A = this chain, B = another copy of it.
């Protein structure tokens, strides 16, 4: 498999964690987001949205959208399960993941912030937009975990929820959102920080890290 990503892309980061949790190796191709390499014609042939990541499978198919890729990995390589449990538990894991992937990350991503800058918004307003989006979003996420068992978001093993949480916490740090008071999220973050799959997937450990 070949993953087209960028060290700092939250969505590519999710897929790196999933590949590592499954013990799957992949070739890594890098597309520099800040240089716009995801809009190059040769990449748009793979991914018409011009977004990262894309995963080329061993039989030449191209998969897009990080969450769809992680679900595909989980269906084609079931162990360890990234969506364990019964339908209700899976719904809770997916809901947490989507609270990040649909409600936080898209509103604070590079593209949206660039549009705000292009409107003439000063840098502190742009950063504040990202920070407030993340802060409010993570506080709601903490409540989605209330009463559950750790150390990971949904119990003893990492799931799609942790896969989404950790890159989002990376963005929280960049933009000054503070998750220290969020007990369940902090517990999951500590568990992931000690897990080899998460360590190997971290931006600073990628070949294109700056």
Binding site for B on A (CB under 8 A): 48-51, 57, 61, 63-65, 67-69, 71-72, 75-76, 87-88, 90-92, 94-95, 97-99, 101-103, 105-107, 112, 115, 119, 121, 125, 129, 137, 140, 143-144
Contacts and interface: CB of A to CB of B under 8 A. Distances in A.
A104 to B, nearest CB: 9
A112 to B, nearest CB: 6
Contacts of A61: 88
B95 A102 contact: no
A91 B69 contact: yes
Nearest to A76: B87
A2 to B, nearest CB: 16
Nearest to A59: B88
Contacts of A63: 88, 91-92, 95
Contacts of A87: 72, 75-76
